[in-house]
Amino acid sequence: MSTVTTTVALEHRSPVRTLGWAVPALVILLALPFVVDQYQTILLAYGLVMGIAALGFNLLLGYTGLLSFGHSAYFGVGAYTVALMVKYLGVTSMELFLVGAIVACVLVTAVFGIACVRYTRIFFGILTMALSQVLWSLAFKFFWVTGGTDGLRVPTPTLLGLVTGKGDKIAFLATAYYYYVLGVFVICTLVMWVIVSSPFGRALQAIRDNEVRAEFVGIQIRQYRWVAFLVSGVFTGLAGALWVPLNGLTTPDIMHWTFSGEIVFMTVLGGFRSFTGPIIGAIVFNYLKTYAVGYTVYWQLLLGVVLVVLVLSLPTGIVGTAERLWARWRAR
Amino acid sequence: MDIVVIHALNALLYASVLFLIAGGLSLIYGVMRIVNLAHGNLYAFGAYVSAWVVGLLVARAPEGASPSTVLLLLLLPAGAVAAAAFGALLEPTLLRPFYKRAEEYQLLVTFGLLMIIDDVIRWLWGPYPLSASVLFENFGSLGIGDAIYPTYNFLVIAVGALAAVFLWAFIYKTRFGVVLRATSQNMRMSSALGVNVNRVYVQAFTLGCLMAGLGGAIIVPSQSAVLGMGVDALILSFIVVVVGGLGSLEGALLGALIVGVVREAGIAWFPEIELAVLYLIAAAVLLIRPAGLFGRA
């Protein structure tokens, strides 16, 4: 029996059509390091990393209908797990970092999740924010462990036990590490695609659209929300782990709730009512912020105006607006 | 013993300022169900305006002489008035379109506003702290046993207490208060009964901003106005309203007292986990009583 979904928003297209744009996009991402310079490649790597974070975040906002203002916590848990593994265990393998980050994030989100999924709407947002601020203040104050505001340095890791960043760090980040990030990004996107298309993903959307009805159908709302919270946090934590070697340093800033705000911002920028929206939003936001910071000291003002205008006039984000324009153009 | 008294006074000092900020936040939420993430920036705005006005006066004063304390005190509320005017401008233009839309959008637009006001302050007054310490110094200090305590801090505590009393009288004893509470309880019904809801919203928002600005104005002589003070204050007042209950003024008062005491105790005895303890208290209250100690579920 085919499932009949009445949601217009997150409607999934046929696999063939999806491949029609996914394959060219992947080819471009693969070829780009040969075309653009190292700086641009590294910038794109940052964008892809944030794309993973936003993808995870959107499982909660777009698919489950829960607005978390505390995702910086899981990003930070991923990042600090890597930094602490370097500091105390002397680990250099990137794969071990990723495993460590996943384990740490599962533990943290499992506990936080139990508390948070009892609430929805504004209380969910405030609770996630308060809990993330707990972690931020610990990272901020326990400087003998976390380095306080100085943060912790992280050297370039060993990829797949083969490639090391000895020598030219920039070249390493712009080639080997870029492809590593791209690989993880593709895997994460595929996994998320499977999750949201699965019966589990459909159930989440049912909960988002009508909680009471979903419960009547027999969906155990809290358990589903908890699992979604877990998966969402782990994705974001994975992004944090990938982000650290790129940045070379982790500071408490990435745990602060304003960073959570940035994750929300990029997701809405791309459009949280679509699967690809958060990814596009993260990449665009990354460029926007980088150039705004380089261009003026008042970059916050610029981003704030963009956000207000966006929310006022283009609530469906870049992808939603593009789809609407495309549909209108085709209808002519 | 003296130490205990001083700790208690400091806790009251924190609580007074926090009550002004968080009370405004709570009032706004209570009436229009909107969590204003830019609320802390209005507090910062009030602090900057007051420090700026005091600074202008000090610069005008003849060489060596400091301007009269009375005049400075009269000008100090300028920050509160400025914040209120700012609020009266913001509500109809930026917030009104969002009441009927999902909460995500309300939070996002106020988050954008937070970023904007932060930078507008930086643009107007530069990146350096702005001080109004003249007033603080003019007041001198008072001996408590063997210890001394700044006299100005008593004024801050008194303003906080007076604000609480006035607000209570305003909300429970005046006609406007009745309309405000009615709108808060049931917006449609009061609209049907002839209340101009839009006007009530502007008034409530302006009042909330006035309180935040007043908080900034009275604290700035003892602590300079610095960038980032708004975001810090917002988070603390979040804890206050979560503990006390969003939308409840009694709750904001109790929450401010709790947070004030815990902060003061934290700074004295457990400085490393002072902030973490505050956030954990907020989380614990949310878990046990989601609507807060005084909230209406």
CATH number at residue A273: 1.10.3470
Integer Cα distance of A227 and A64 in angstroms: 11
Least CB-CB distance to B115: which of A129, A268, A301?
Answer: A301
Query: Is A301 near chain B, with CB under 8 Å?
Result: yes
Integer Cα distance of A282 and A302 in angstroms: 17
Query: Is A118 near chain B, with CB under 8 Å?
Result: yes
- Cβ-Cβ contacts under 8 Å, A265 against chain B: 108, 111
Average pLDDT over residues B270-289: 80
How much is the mean pLDDT over chain B?
84
- DSSP 3-state of A28: helix
Q: What is the pLDDT of residue B66?
A: 66
- Cβ-Cβ contacts under 8 Å, B228 against chain A: none
- Cβ-Cβ contacts under 8 Å, B115 against chain A: 300-301, 303-304, 307
Question: Could B118 and A258 be called an inter-chain contact, meaning their C-beta atoms sit closer than 8 Å?
Answer: no
Q: What is the pLDDT of residue B187?
A: 82
Residues present in chain A in total? 332
- A1 pLDDT band (50/70/90 cuts)? very low
Cβ-based contacts under 8 A for chains A and B: 120
Residues present in chain B in total? 297
Question: Which one of B286, B287, B289, B296 makes the best mutation probe of the A interface by having the most chain A beta carbons within 10 Å?
Answer: B286
Q: Over the range A132-153, which residues count as b (16 or more CB within 10 Å of their CB) and which as e? A: bbbbbbbbbbeeeebbeeebbe
- B246 pLDDT band (50/70/90 cuts)? confident
Least CB-CB distance to B103: which of A121, A138, A312?
Answer: A121
Taking the CA of residue B204 and the nearest CA in chain A, the distance in Å comes to 20
For the stretch A232-271, pLDDT in tens is 999 999 999 999 888 888 888 888 888 888 898 899 888 8
Query: Is A141 near chain B, with CB under 8 Å?
Result: yes
Question: Could B120 and A301 be called an inter-chain contact, meaning their C-beta atoms sit closer than 8 Å?
Answer: yes
Q: Is residue A17 part of a domain?
A: no
* Best-predicted range by mean pLDDT (A33-37, A163-167, B83-87, B194-198): B83-87
pLDDT over 90 at B94, yes or no: no
Query: Is B297 near chain A, with CB under 8 Å?
Result: no
- For residue B141, the cross-strand partners are B150
Question: Could A129 and B109 be called an inter-chain contact, meaning their C-beta atoms sit closer than 8 Å?
Answer: no
pLDDT over 80 at B139, yes or no: no
- Cβ-Cβ contacts under 8 Å, B94 against chain A: 308
Least CB-CB distance to A134: which of B109, B279, B286?
Answer: B279
Query: Is B129 near chain A, with CB under 8 Å?
Result: no
Query: Is B81 near chain A, with CB under 8 Å?
Result: no
Q: What is the pLDDT of residue A165?
A: 65
Which position has the higher pLDDT, A240 or A89? A240
Integer Cα distance of B202 and B263 in angstroms: 33
Residue A90 belongs to domain spanning? 29-331
For the stretch B109-119, pLDDT in tens is 888 898 899 88
- A12 pLDDT band (50/70/90 cuts)? low
- Contact predicate A209/A7, CB 8 Å: yes
Query: Is B235 near chain A, with CB under 8 Å?
Result: yes
Q: Is residue A23 part of a domain?
A: no
Average pLDDT over residues B16-32: 88
Which residues lie below 8 Å from residue A163, measured CB to CB, with a gap of 6+?
Answer: A172, A176
Query: Is B124 near chain A, with CB under 8 Å?
Result: no
For the stretch A110-167, pLDDT in tens is 888 887 888 777 778 888 888 888 888 888 877 777 777 777 787 788 777 676 767 7
Q: Is residue A21 part of a domain?
A: no
Average pLDDT over residues A286-302: 85
- Lowest-pLDDT range, A99-103, B98-102, B236-240? B98-102
Nearest to residue A7, comparing CAs of A273, A194, A277? A273
- DSSP 3-state of B178: helix
Residue A306 token pair: 């963009």
- Cβ-Cβ contacts under 8 Å, A257 against chain B: 235
Least CB-CB distance to B283: which of A122, A125, A127?
Answer: A127
Which position has the higher pLDDT, B85 or A312? B85
pLDDT over 80 at B223, yes or no: yes
Question: Could B279 and A67 be called an inter-chain contact, meaning their C-beta atoms sit closer than 8 Å?
Answer: no
For the stretch B160-193, pLDDT in tens is 889 889 988 888 888 888 888 888 888 888 888 8
pLDDT over 70 at B149, yes or no: yes
Query: Is A138 near chain B, with CB under 8 Å?
Result: yes
pLDDT over 80 at B295, yes or no: no
Q: Is residue A317 part of a domain?
A: yes
Radius of gyration of chain A (CA): 20
Query: Is B211 near chain A, with CB under 8 Å?
Result: no
pLDDT over 90 at A306, yes or no: no
Integer Cα distance of B282 and B240 in angstroms: 8
Least CB-CB distance to B105: which of A118, A297, A311?
Answer: A311
Q: How many CB atoms lie within 10 A of CB B215?
A: 34
For the stretch A185-223, pLDDT in tens is 999 998 998 888 888 888 888 888 888 887 888 778 888
Q: Is residue A1 part of a domain?
A: no
Question: Could B116 and A308 be called an inter-chain contact, meaning their C-beta atoms sit closer than 8 Å?
Answer: yes
Average pLDDT over residues B223-238: 85
Residue A145 token pair: 């462990």
Count structural domains, chain A: 1
- B225 — phi, psi (to 5°)? -80, 125
- Contact predicate B36/B107, CB 8 Å: no
- Lowest-pLDDT range, A16-30, A60-74, A92-106, A257-271? A16-30
Question: Could B112 and A311 be called an inter-chain contact, meaning their C-beta atoms sit closer than 8 Å?
Answer: yes
Average pLDDT over residues A61-76: 88
Query: Is A148 near chain B, with CB under 8 Å?
Result: no
Average pLDDT over residues A266-290: 87
- Cβ-Cβ contacts under 8 Å, B112 against chain A: 303-308, 311
Least CB-CB distance to B113: which of A297, A308, A315?
Answer: A308
Please write down the HEC assignment for all residues of chain B: CHHHHHHHHHHHHHHHHHHHHHHHHHHHHHHHCCCCCCHHHHHHHHHHHHHHHHHHHHHHCCCCCCCCHHHHHHHCCHHHHHHHHHHHHHHHHHHHHHCCCCHHHHHHHHHHHHHHHHHHHHHHHCCCCECCHHHHHHHCEEEECCEEEEHHHHHHHHHHHHHHHHHHHHHHHCHHHHHHHHHHHCHHHHHHCCCCHHHHHHHHHHHHHHHHHHHHHHHCCCCCECCCHHHHHHHHHHHHHHHHCCCCHHHHHHHHHHHHHHHHHHHHHCHHHHHHHHHHHHHHHHHHCCCCCCCCC
- Lowest-pLDDT range, A277-291, B51-65, B145-159? B51-65
> What Cα–Cα distance (Å) separates residue B13 from each residue in A318, B255, B264?
47, 14, 10
Q: Is residue A15 part of a domain?
A: no
Integer Cα distance of B110 and B113 in angstroms: 5
Integer Cα distance of A11 and A263 in angstroms: 23
Q: Over the range B138-175, which residues count as b (16 or more CB within 10 Å of their CB) and which as e? A: bbeeeeeeeeebbebbebbbebbeebbeebeeebeeee
Q: What percent of chain B has pLDDT over 70?
A: 96
Taking the CA of residue A71 and the nearest CA in chain B, the distance in Å comes to 15
- Contact predicate A237/A104, CB 8 Å: yes
Q: What is the pLDDT of residue A239?
A: 93
Q: What percent of chain B has pLDDT over 90?
A: 9
Q: Is residue A5 part of a domain?
A: no
Taking the CA of residue A135 and the nearest CA in chain B, the distance in Å comes to 7
Q: Is residue A14 part of a domain?
A: no
Query: Is B285 near chain A, with CB under 8 Å?
Result: no
Question: Could A134 and B280 be called an inter-chain contact, meaning their C-beta atoms sit closer than 8 Å?
Answer: yes
- For residue B130, the cross-strand partners are B225
- Contact predicate A300/B116, CB 8 Å: yes
Q: What is the sign of the dihedral through the CA atoms of B91, B93, B95 and B99? A: positive
Taking the CA of residue B116 and the nearest CA in chain A, the distance in Å comes to 4
Look-up of token digits 């990003």 = A75
- Cβ-Cβ contacts under 8 Å, B119 against chain A: 298-301, 304
* Best-predicted range by mean pLDDT (A9-18, A266-275, B288-297): A266-275
Helices marked H in chain A — which ranges?
A: 15-35, 38-58, 71-84, 94-116, 121-141, 143-146, 169-172, 178-197, 199-209, 211-217, 221-247, 257-270, 277-295, 299-313, 317-331
- A104 pLDDT band (50/70/90 cuts)? very high
Integer Cα distance of A132 and A255 in angstroms: 7
- DSSP 3-state of B55: helix
Q: What percent of chain A has pLDDT over 70?
A: 94
Query: Is A313 near chain B, with CB under 8 Å?
Result: no
Indicate the pTM of the whole model: 0.83
Least CB-CB distance to B118: which of A119, A300, A315?
Answer: A300
Q: What is the pLDDT of residue A8?
A: 40
- Contact predicate A126/A69, CB 8 Å: yes
Integer Cα distance of B115 and A148 in angstroms: 25
Q: What percent of chain A has pLDDT over 90?
A: 16
